[in-house]
Structure formats: structure tokens, C-alpha cells
Amino acid sequence: MIAQIHNSLFLYMKPHNFLLFLLFAGLTLPLSGYSQTTSADKQLNNATLQEVIDFALTNKPGVKQSLIDEEIGERDIKSALSGWLPQINANGTYNNNLKQQVNTLTTNGQTSFLTLGTRHTSSVILQADQQFLNAGLIQASKAAKFYRQQYKQNTENNKITTVVDVSKAYYDILTSREQLNIINENIARLEKQLKDASAQYDVGLVDKTDYQRAQISLNNSRADKKRTDELLKYKYAYLKELIGYSPEAPFTLNLAGTNMEAGILLDTTQQTAYTNRVEYRLLQTQKQLQHLNTSYNKWTYLPTISGFANYSFNYLNNNFSNLYDNSYPGSVIGLKLSMPIFLGTKRTQEIRKSELQERRIDLDLVNTRNQINTQYEQSMATYKANLNDWKTSKSNVDISRQVYNTIKLQYDEGIKTYLDLMTSETDLRTAQLNYLNSLYSLLSAKLDVQQALGTITVNQ
């Protein structure tokens, strides 16, 4: 059909119109191909945290699976509700009566034998059935909105977990990059100290131990840099995995403009609201579905009422070649009522079991509330402890830097020994690294508190 249309266009199109058509087709084909580019092909270069999270919420396989589960669930719901629509079926039969039934007929004392029916029979039946009252369909209608809600809550839960995990991985990379900056500064200081110690040793001002100690410290710092560099490669790979990014694609982060200290503060007076947690709302949805299941088992005491209508074409003849010469149609309409009277104790047992499952979900809700409260207390306690550690480590960095600068001046004047200088330099580096680690721990603890409170959304 498409080929015929193309041929018709070619025959009836004037030359200049045909050229315009080719030009238009050439322009639109690249556009149609471009429109098919998916977000998974997007490359993240110099990406911010929000851009990384947005990419993860679109491309992470786990999130995509949740969205597919929503679509599958919608199909299941529509499939279940389709039972309310008329069900139309067509059936065809053919019978070859090899031994036809024979009956006797007695008239005036004489008996004769009659052959019933014909040798060949066939029929085509078209039948429509319509449900009017059905417990299973009633349950499907009432449960549809709760199943949709459940699928969306599963997706929301997956996205919230993704936001938390991606944020922590991003901050971990940022912390490692800051650690590299500190190590590089330390290496620069040690290289200068090694050069100064070597020059002083050459002129006989100090012994060889100062030069050797400087060399040992420099080697250790270079080893720390190598270790941090290698771990940073793994952290980038882990972040790519979290967001569903191709391992081979180029990937860079905008770490220069990120101020980790800007978002560390948190209102510690907030109280838990259980309904903010998607896990708790999921259990509430499950309870509603279970209550509907209990109601369904009670509805099974109701009769099933349905209507039907059919139209049939019947064919019969003793000769197969003439079987379909004549048709003898027939049609029937009616109602069907089915009332299960006694099924042992199955319905009663199913009702009792469903009620027990409702009670079990009630206990799950109680247990979840306790877990949420414990999680909140734990995360808040960790946050407060990490906040104190961060303040302490920040103060220690300032003090260590002042001590190092003072001892460095005293060492240059010959008042302090090289060992004192190395000790103060080690204290400064340790204080700086402790500060970064405490800052990362504080940010992670804040995310845990927000997750415990249920205040993290997929748009945050």
C-alpha cells in the first residue's frame, strides 16, 4: 500500500514539485533521527550535583524498572477490569455421524425403524456474554486505585534512595578531591623542606637525619596521593553505576563551585511524621488492599449474574458435498445466575485468614513506626555528634596552621629542630584531613536525618 502511494506521488508530481519534495524529505529525515535520541546518550561534562541526580532519576536501571513496573501494573489493572466488557466468542463444529441413532415407530401393530438426524452436521455459533454481578470484578474495580498508588509509591521509594545514594557518592568524590589538594600542598611544602635540608646538609649546617626525615615524609605523601588517586577512579566508577551512566563515556563533575559547608545546618527540633515516610504509606496501601481482599471473600456469598446472547448457523445433510447448501439459523438470549450454596468451609476459612493478615499488617505498621523513630533518633544523634566533630576539627585546622607557621619561622631562625617542624606539619595535615572527613560525615548524617524525617523528595 505504501509503495502504491509513493508511485502515485511520483507519477502525478511535477518536476519542480518533485525536487521540492526531495529537499523537504532530506531536511526532515535528519530531524526525525535526531528526535529519537534518548536521554541515556546525554554526556555529563562539568555536571553539578542536581544535574547528576536528574540524570540518575531518568537513566538509572532500577528507576527505569520501577517505571516499567508501573506500566505493567496498569496493564494488569486494565486486564482485570476488561471482564466488565462484553466477551464475544465464535465457535465452529463439524460432526460426521458414522453410526446414526435409530429409533422404532409402531403404527397399527407394525414396527418401522427411523434413522435420526443426518450423516453430516456443522454449526457456527457467535455468542456474547455480559457480566452484571461478579465478586472478582467488583474487587478489581475497587482495588485499581490502590494498586496504582502502590506502584507509584514503589517508584517514589526507589527515587528517594537514589537521591540519597547519589548525593553521598558525589560528596565522597568532592571530599577526595579536596584531600588531593591538601596532599599536593603538603608535597609542595615537603619538597621545599627537602631542598632546604639538602642545601643545609651540603654546607654542613645540619646532619644527614634532617634530609632523610624530609625524604621519608615526602615519599609517604606521594604514596598517599597515589592511593587517593586510585580510590578516586573507583568512586567515579561507582557514581556512574549509581546513575546508570555508560562506563566508557566521558564524565566530569563541577566540583569547583560546590561549597560543602553551605548546606550542613539542619533544624534539630523537627519531629517525625510517619506519614511522610513512603515505606509507612506503602504499608497503609497494603492494608487497604488486604481489607478489600477480606471484603471480596465476603462477596463470594453473592450470586454471579450474567447475560448471554448467541446466533448460530446450523448445517445438516447426508452428503458432505451438499452440507453447506442450506443453513438453519437459530438464536438464543438469556440470563445466567450462579449461586454457590456450600463449598465446605472454604469461604469462611478464607475470610478468617484475610482478617488475620490484616491484623499482621497492623503489627507491621506498629513495628515500622518504632523503626522510623529509632532511625530518626540514631541519625539525629549521629548528626549532632558529627556537627560537634566538624566544629572541633575546623578549629584544630586554624590552630595547627598557626602552630606550623610559628615553628616554621623558628626553624628558619635556628630556634626549633627539624623534628619539631615535621611534627607540626604532620599535625596540620592530619587536622586538615580530619576536617574533610568530618565534613563528609556531617553531610551524610544530614541526608540520613532528612530521609528519616521523610523530607527528601525526588525534586530536592
- Residue 257 is predicted with a pLDDT of 62
- Residue 454 is predicted with a pLDDT of 92
Distance (Å, whole) CA 71 – CA 75:
6
The structural domains of the chain, with segments of one domain joined by +, span 2-35, 43-85+134-303+341-453, 86-133+304-338
- Residue 370 is predicted with a pLDDT of 96
Report yes or no: 175 and 231 within 8 Å, Cβ to Cβ.
Answer: no
- Residue 40 is predicted with a pLDDT of 55
Report yes or no: 416 and 166 within 8 Å, Cβ to Cβ.
Answer: no
Instruction: Establish whether domains 43-85+134-303+341-453 and 86-133+304-338 are of one fold.
Output: no
Q: In CATH, which superfamily holds the domain spanning 43-85+134-303+341-453?
A: Outer membrane efflux proteins (OEP) (1.20.1600.10)
Residue 338 in 3-state DSSP? strand
DSSP letter for each residue of 349-378: HHHHHHHHHHHHHHHHHHHHHHHHHHHHHH
Q: Compute CA distances 369 → 150, 289, 361, whole Å.
A: 19, 20, 12
pLDDT along the chain (460 residues), means of 10: 42 40 41 44 84 93 95 95 94 90 77 82 95 93 95 95 95 93 91 83 73 87 94 95 92 80 85 92 96 92 94 93 91 93 87 95 96 95 95 95 93 84 90 94 94 81
Distance (Å, whole) CA 220 – CA 404:
19
- Residue 198 is predicted with a pLDDT of 81
Topology classification of domain 86-133+304-338: Outer membrane efflux proteins (OEP) (2.20.200)
Max CA separation in the chain (angstroms) = 154
